[in-house]
Structure formats: structure tokens, C-alpha cells
Amino acid sequence: MANVNENFLKLQDSYLFSTIAKKVAKFTEENPNKKVIKLGIGDVTRPVIPAVLSAMHKAVDEMGTKEGFRGYGPEQGYDFLRNAIVENEYKNLGIEPDEIFVSDGAKCDCGNIVDIFGMENKVAITDPVYPVYIDTNVISGRSGNFNESTGTYENIVYLPVNSSNNFIPELPKERVDMIYLCFPNNPTGTVLNKEELKKFVDYARKNNSIILFDSAYEAFITEKDIPHSIYEIEGAKEVAIEFKSFSKTAGFTGVRCAYTVIPKTVYGYTKAGEKVSLNKLWNRRTTTKFNGVSYVVQRAAEAIYTDEGKKQIKENIEYYQENARVIKEGLQEAGFTVYGGVNAPYIWLKIPSGMKSWEFFDMLLNEANVVGTPGSGFGPSGEGYFRLTAFGDKENTKEAVERVVKFGKTLAKHNKI
């Protein structure tokens, strides 16, 4: 008899996006003449940039020649890409190419990283949260059961972020070993400045904890004092692992390429208290379970760092940033309180008092024919909030905002906002 990993049975089914899809399908069926605009999904819509496309074509052609053909590549990524990442992302931060591990996605990396950590570790996450951090710790057995009444897993430390703490998580009140931080944040679109992030780095150094820093939305940062990498913070190279992705930066959600940075100065401990290099463990895990990202895709990623590539990517990011601005300013004009949207493609809207996230979803769909994501789907502290994304088409985004503004004005008339 083969037993199953019963931790999977503790997982809560995520009905979030399937429930949204069902509600939208029903609405569309009942209202075939209404144009529904979706500002709910976190996927990009701009096509792959020409610089990347031509690098891919070239690499594909190389693969068809005797001299250019490549079989298995290095599991950690080709030197040409690891060097380009160091040169362009970490030039003055002292990160070296063998501290970069190229992968097929930050989602997999954030999930797989749990392999190298002990089961007894206490894990902290911010709430609301990108669900991968929590679910992968549940699967690997670091949580207790799900508590229906609180909406949280036992044995996981939740760090709520909401308008009362200005979306800045407090340091854990109890000692934790692993802390997941995602900034710019999905879903709230908020950021930590250097001083705020330093508090976490100092906490981790004091407590021998590790920070797992997801920086998938770094390219959207516009303000000055916001760190683009956790390694800008003094001491972070002793305690932090950084996850980065080309998905949102360069429209690679379908192409698939990302990387994880583990400085050689980051250590975990055995139960006997011996220091173990996490870079070495991750390298071992990677060479055992992964055979590398395809040559064609790594050449595509490299092309992002050419002058042409940088220029084209900037245009795409600016396109989404402009959408974020239009959404944010439109909603504010309509009287809503909104967060995020300045250093991130996500706008986090405070729902008019007394209303739940799903009620607001239904109302917005019915009255404005606009789809967003209920904040409660990202954790208990997301209740009362709603996420809109800037990844849509410019014209549709404008139209959606006009409709939401109109809807907001009717709510305001009834003193609901």
C-alpha cells in the first residue's frame, strides 16, 4: 500500500480564480450584450519584445547546426546568462555568478526552496500573501491544520499588513526561522523602504533566521528610497535568499525564465549547530532534481540586457505603469481609498465600509461590468480589500476606470464611500 503525503489533505482548495471565472461566465451568459473588462489577472498582455524574439530565432537556428547544437546545459544556468545577470542587476552589490541559479520560474523556486530547510523551522508569512509560500510549507509538513474560524494554518506565523500599519509588517513577536517577504508586494502593490527592510535583516541576523525575498515585481519600482534588491541592505548577504523573475519584467510568463540568488555567505545550521552553506545545498538540490532551462530561453533572457532589449522592456513597463496610474487616480477621484500602484502593477482598493470583498466583486461586476480579485482570496487580512491589475490593454483599462468612477460616484451619493 502506497501511503500519500497527507499534508496535501490539509490544503484549502483555492476557489479564488475558478469562482471568479464561474461568476463571470454566468454574468456573460445572462448579459450577452455587455462588455466585461477583466482587471483581475496577474498575467502580462504585451507581446514578447523584438530583441528577445530575434535572440530566440537565432538560438533555434543554432540548435539545428552541428556546431551550434546544445544538449544538456549546466543545471545552474549558462555562464553567459549568469554573467549578464550579475553585470546588470548586481554590479555594485558583490554578488558573483556562482551565486545565481537560473530556473524556469520564481514560482517553482519559491516552492522548491523548502527542500533545503529543516522540518522544525518556524515559518512567518505576511497576510495577505502570494499563496505559494504558505501552500508549499503546508505540503512539506511545517504547518498544523487549517483553522476555519481564523482562516489560518496552525504553527505558521502570520504578519498582517493593512491600512492601520500602512502595509508595513511588524517584526514577528515570537522567534521564527524563515520569513517570506515579497516587495513590491503581490497583492497589495505596496513596498518597504530601505529602513523598513533593514529591520527585517537585523532581526534575521540577530535570530539566525533566513529571509526569502521575492522580488518578482522589482522592475516596477519608481520611487527613490525603495530597494531594488535586498542585498542593498547591509548584512543581507548573510541572511537573505532573493527570487527574481523575467515574467513580469520582460513578458516571460509564457517563455519561462527566472533565477534565485543565494550568496555563499548565507548559512543554515544542523541540529548539532554546525554551519551549512545554503548555496551548496541549493546547488546539490538543483543538480539532483533539475536539468536546466533550455538554451533558447536562456539566450532570450540574455537579450533583455542588450541596449535594444533594455529600451524595449522599459517601454512595456511604462505602458503598465501608465495603466496603474490611470487606475489609481481614477479610483481616488471617485472617492475610493487606494494603495499600491506606484511601485507595482497592483492597485489595492479599500472596500466601502461594511462590505465584504466578494460582495464588492459582485457589485462591480453587475454595475460596472468590471472584474477584479477579492482581497479575501489572499488571506484573512485581505478581507475588505480588492485587487486590480495594470496588466491589461490601455483602452480597456481606461474604459474600466471610467465605469468604476461612475459606479463609485453612485456609491458616494448613497454615502457608501
- Residue ranges in contact with ligand PLP by CB under 6 A: 42, 105-107, 130, 182, 186, 214, 216, 245, 247, 253, 258
Helical ranges in 115-193 per DSSP H:
131-139
- Minimum distance, C-beta of residue 161 to ligand PLP, in the bound complex (Å): 14
Of the pair 130, 348, the CB lying nearest ligand PLP is at 130
- 3-state SS class at 36: coil
- Minimum distance, C-beta of residue 110 to ligand PLP, in the bound complex (Å): 6
DSSP states along 290-307: -----HHHHHHHHGGGSH
- Minimum distance, C-beta of residue 414 to ligand PLP, in the bound complex (Å): 35
Partners of residue 156 on adjacent β-strands: 123
158 is written with which cell numbers?
502570520
Of the pair 107, 237, the CB lying nearest ligand PLP is at 107
Element (H, E) at 112: helix 106-112
191 is written with which cell numbers?
513596498
- Minimum distance, C-beta of residue 43 to ligand PLP, in the bound complex (Å): 8
Element (H, E) at 146: strand 146-147
- Minimum distance, C-beta of residue 175 to ligand PLP, in the bound complex (Å): 25
Of the pair 108, 171, the CB lying nearest ligand PLP is at 108
- Minimum distance, C-beta of residue 104 to ligand PLP, in the bound complex (Å): 8
- 3-state SS class at 340: strand
> Is 140 buried (19+), middle (13-18) or exposed (0-12) by CB count in 10 A?
middle
Of the pair 217, 267, the CB lying nearest ligand PLP is at 217
Quote the CA–CA distance of 271 and 326 in Å, as a whole number.
53
Of the pair 229, 245, the CB lying nearest ligand PLP is at 245
Helices (H) then strands (E): counts for the chain: 13, 17
Of the pair 177, 214, the CB lying nearest ligand PLP is at 214
